[in-house]
Structure 1
Amino acid sequence: MTAPLTVSRIRSIDTVRGAIMVIMALDHVRDFFHESAFLADPTDVNTTTGILFFTRWITHFCAPSFMLLLGISAYLSGQNKTVAERSSFLIKRGLWLILVDMIFMTFGFTFDIYYKTIILAVLWALGTSMIVLGIFARFTSARVILIVGLIIVIGHNLLDSVKLTENSVSDILLKIFVTGRGTFLPRGDGGTIGFLYVVIPWVGIMMSGYGLGVLYKRDYPAESRKRILLISGLIITVLFFVFRFVNLYGDPAHWAAQATSTKTLISFFNVTKYPPSLIFTLMTQGPLLIALAFTEKSVNALARFFTVYGRVPFFFFMVHFYLIHLLTMIAVLTSGYTWAQATDDQLFFKFRPNDFGYSLGTTYLIWVAIVLALYFPCKWFGEYRVREKKWWLSYL
């Protein structure tokens, strides 16, 4: 009984994670290929449409869900390690992810060989969260880590109203680690470094996931785990609607009635991701726990499809991003733009002019094509990791 149960546990996590990765790719394809991506905010209730808002909204589930699942995986991977080994691995992998973000993802974003702007985005948040988690894992239990994580998730919005002296050291640190939507600081060489993701709220989500990892221990009853996940997911989802409706705490952007019911609905669900508010976390993580409960033993074709991507999330993340930007470059240069126009110094993303792009329908088709194109490479790499079991593969 033990072996099949373990496979089921891993499969359910990988299946949900794979679905998240596929949805994440939609947002990145939209950034590079949709005609209004650089001209309008898809969450602006005054200018967006229902389908465009949904296209952005559904991808909100990706980053926090990946954080939570990575926390669960960190707990499980540490079961066969000593406390010191577990802590050391998390810290080293966290540092590696930050380095990858600075070098490889910055170039993947910008295609700027001069690195005029170094970008610290989701891998920076993942890496710093893993470092903090590694420190906590060295000195305390999973239960304490869960409690601390929940306190961070629930309480960090109390700092939304804190105002410090503009551009003071304390103000900059508060923005980088807790409240900032995007903080760009000058470098000594004339360039800038952009902190697109803060740290503290994401740490809380990952720590909460680590605490949930105990539900996936080998000797934990499967039915009890499913029941806890389902009930917790339902409660969290209900809390989202309660907190959002009350409109008092949990998100700095309150919703309001609009001229049409569609716009009112958009306003209601337009919660804050940068940084992730309590209500944002409730909205995304309640359904995630429900999905984990219902995919516990899923072996259908769709589950197997998503699992291929979920087993190699780092590989998929890196390859899909470079593929998207390369295809954008080809599309731009074959659409009549000159090399000078495509590489203009004013462009944040090289080979992505602000007025370039296709309709939302075409963007969806490109997304599907990219996801399908990466199916067999991801399948091959997943099988290679299982077959080879080399130490360095644990970092990819």
Structure 2
Amino acid sequence: MRFVTAFCAPGFMMTMGVSITLFTGSRKRIGWSDARILQHFAIRGFLLALINFWMTMSFVAPSGKPLLLTTVLFALGIDMILGAIVLLAETRLTSYLYQRIENSSLPQHDKDRHQYRLRLASVLFYLIAAVILAVVITAVTPVYDGATPPKESDFSFWYLLWVLPYTDMMGDGARIGSVYPPLAWLSVVLWGIFVGKVMTEFKLGFNDNIKFHTVLSVVLLAIFFPLRALGGFGNINPGLAHQPGELPWVAFFNLIKYPPDVAYLTWNLGANHLFLVLFLLATSTEAAANAPGPWSLRGLVSRVVPLDAWETIKSPNNPVMSYGVSSFFFYIGHFQVFFFAAWWMKIFGIEPFAPGLEYWVAWVAGMWLMFLGCRWYGQFKASQPADSIFRFF
């Protein structure tokens, strides 16, 4: 289960970075100013952080004092704002330099060459920044030697909040349960902006996107396997790769997520790019309509899922589509639904977390309630203005 769910957080962060790029470009085309775009991301990001604190406000330290707990919502919110600031600053600088070149007395072919290099540099900036930040986070993270566990007092509050995950919430003097510090995950958001910039700056079509994400997946996985096998730099705790009593392949993929080290990121981002390729092939009518042969990958896709099935898949009555359209609403709501289900089961003497018939009945009933709620909310938010806060859910 841990192996499967480890793909999620890097996927969240990377696709958020891509979305920041696509949203900024689309709003600039309809005349939004940089200030309005930043205001949008600031409201959305702070809303995520606020809901993080609302959902965790019941956590208290043994001393009885409130405990600050940072979940994935906190990192997503803060990194959304930081990513937007970096992107807007970079695009403004790039536009200024682009115009300087355009207004220069250089011959047109020299202008074109310098402007292309400028565009390329604006894309590579995010790639380089993402790599450097990931390496720095890995390098500054202390390695637990198995003898002397670190204490919260060994680190400053702000270092734990921004950089280093620490979750000994029951320790004496506990002040913070830092699960997702924003700077530890900012490299993945910058990587997503890099991906989005390549897709938009070079106007990648369907085939180009397939090739681009395939190349990224292959490169990242080619880095991961020798990096993990050697067990040196890039692995915050290389000893996990050789745990006694564990199956060798289980130990090999037992990677460090808190904070994400280079080995973790190369494996999970490589897998996420592969998932994107599969999703593109599985959900694109172009993949089916342009299938060149029955035994090609596209041909197989079109044989498995006919063209007329896509409308059914995209219907709001499809639970998966309803969950996806209202994903943040689902995230908040599913805690309430299943906490209530667990409380109700305990009243009747049923252990809510023991796998059995009652467990699966409660799960199916809860998912059905969430489907009805998400379908309603998806229809409600679709009726709201484009900048309505309800669309954030």
TM-score, normalising length: structure 2 = 0.69
Query: Are 1:150 and 1:205, in contact at CA under 8 Å, matched by a contact in 2?
Result: no
**1:77 Cα deviation (Å)?**
1.4
| CA-CA distance at 1:192 after TM superposition | 4.7
Tell me the amino acid that sits aligned with residue 10 of structure 2.
P
Superposed displacement of residue 256, structure 1: 4.2
1:139-158 alpha-carbon deviations (Å, 9 max, x no partner) = 11462334322321233201
SS at match of 2:85: helix
Match in the other structure for 1:394: 391
Query: Are the counterparts in 2 of residues 185 and 193 from structure 1 also a CA contact under 8 Å?
Result: no
Q: Any conservation in 2 of the 1:177–1:199 contact (CA below 8 Å)?
A: yes
Deviation at 1:285, TM superposition (A): 1.3
Alignment match of 1:136 (pick from 86, 99, 103): 86
Matched AA of 1:89: H
Deviation at 1:363, TM superposition (A): 5.5
> How has the CA–CA distance of structure 1 residues 364 and 268 changed in structure 2, closer, same or farther, with 3 Å as cutoff?
farther
Matches of 1:201 and 1:179, distance apart in 2: 7
Whether 2:229 is the aligned partner of 1:245: answer yes
d(CA) in 1 for partners of 2:224, 2:356: 29
Q: Name 1:199's counterpart in structure 2.
A: 182
Q: Distance in 2 between matches of 1:119 and 1:161?
A: 21
2:158 maps to what in 1?
173
Residue 153, structure 1, aligned to residue 134, structure 2: yes
Q: Distance in 1 between matches of 2:57 and 2:347?
A: 19
In 1, the alpha carbon distance for the partners of 2:5 and 2:225 equals: 19
Say if 2:122 is the partner of 1:122: no
Flag the 1:331–1:307 CA change in 2: closer, same or farther, 3 A. same
- 1:259 deviates by 5.5
For 1:237 and 1:309, how far apart are their aligned partners in 2? 30
2:262 is the alignment partner of 1:278: yes
Question: Are the equivalent residues in 1 in contact too, given 2:214–2:273 (CA < 8 A)?
Answer: yes
SS at match of 1:217: helix
Cα deviation, 1:173-214, whole Å, max 9, x if unaligned, reads: 33332222326599xxx9954322222121111121122113
Distance 1:242 1:359, change over 3 A: same
Q: Within 2, Cα distance between the matches of 1:289 and 1:184? A: 35
In 1: Cα distance, 2:10 partner to 2:75 partner: 11
Aligned counterparts of 2:253 and 2:358: Cα–Cα separation in 1:
25
Output the CA distance in 2 between the equivalents of 1:256 and 1:118.
32
Higher relative contact order (CA 8 A, sep 6+): 1
Q: SS at 1:194's partner residue?
A: strand
Contact 2:70–2:181, Cα closer than 8 Å, also in 1: no
Deviation, 1:172, is 3.4
Contact 1:83-1:137 at 8 Å conserved across structures: no
Alignment partner, residue 44 of structure 2: 93
- Residue 292 of structure 2: aligned partner: none
Does the 8 Å CA contact 1:87/1:134 hold for their aligned counterparts?
yes
Amino acid at match of 2:160: K
Q: Which residue of 2 aligns with 1:370?
A: 366
Determine whether 1:57 maps to 2:54: no
* One-letter code aligned to 1:124: F
CA distance in 2, matches of 1:360, 1:281: 36
Query: Residues 1-396 of structure 1: matches in 2 within 5 Å?
Result: 55-79=1-25, 80-81=27-28, 82-103=33-54, 105-106=55-56, 116-141=66-91, 143=123, 144-161=125-142, 171-182=156-167, 184=169, 192-217=175-200, 219-254=203-238, 255-257=240-242, 263-299=247-283, 304=314, 305=318, 306-335=320-349, 357-359=353-355, 366-367=362-363, 369-390=365-386, 391-396=388-393
> Is 2:138–2:260's contact at 8 Å kept on the other side of the alignment?
no
1:288 CA displacement: 0.9
Against the structure 1 CA distance between its residues 238 and 149, is the aligned structure 2 distance closer, same or farther, given a 3 Å change threshold? same
Asked if the contact 1:178/1:200 (under 8 Å) is kept, the reply is: yes
Runs of 5+ consecutive residues of structure 2 not aligned to the other structure: 92-121, 145-149, 284-304
Q: How far apart are the structure 1 equivalents of 2:349 and 2:43?
A: 44
Hey, what's the Cα distance between the residues in 1 that align with 2:174 and 2:154? Answer: 19
Return the index of the structure with the highest Cα Rg: 2
For residues 283 and 191 of structure 1, do their structure 2 counterparts lie closer, same or farther at Cα, with a shift above 3 Å needed? closer
Q: Which amino acid aligns with 1:154?
A: V
> How far, CA to CA, are the matches of 1:197 and 1:155 in structure 2?
17
CA RMSD of aligned residues (A): 3.5
Deviation at 1:253, TM superposition (A): 2.2
In 1, are the aligned partners of 2:42 and 2:81 still within 8 Å (CA)? yes
Contact 2:341–2:362 (CA under 8 A) maintained in structure 1: no
Contact 2:218 2:270 in 1 (8 A): yes
> Closer, same or farther in 2 for the Cα pair 1:183/1:335, shift >3 Å?
same
Q: What TM-score comes out, normalization by structure 1 length?
A: 0.69
- Distance 1:376-1:216 versus aligned 2 partners, 3 A rule: farther
**Residues 297-336 of structure 1: CA deviation (Å, up to 9, x unaligned):** 5345796454432222211111112112111221223227
- Structure 1 residues 372 and 268: CA distance shift in structure 2, 3 A: farther
SS of equivalent to 2:142: coil
Shift of 1:137: 2.2
Report the alpha carbon displacement of residue 258 of structure 1 after superposing the two structures with TM: 5.3
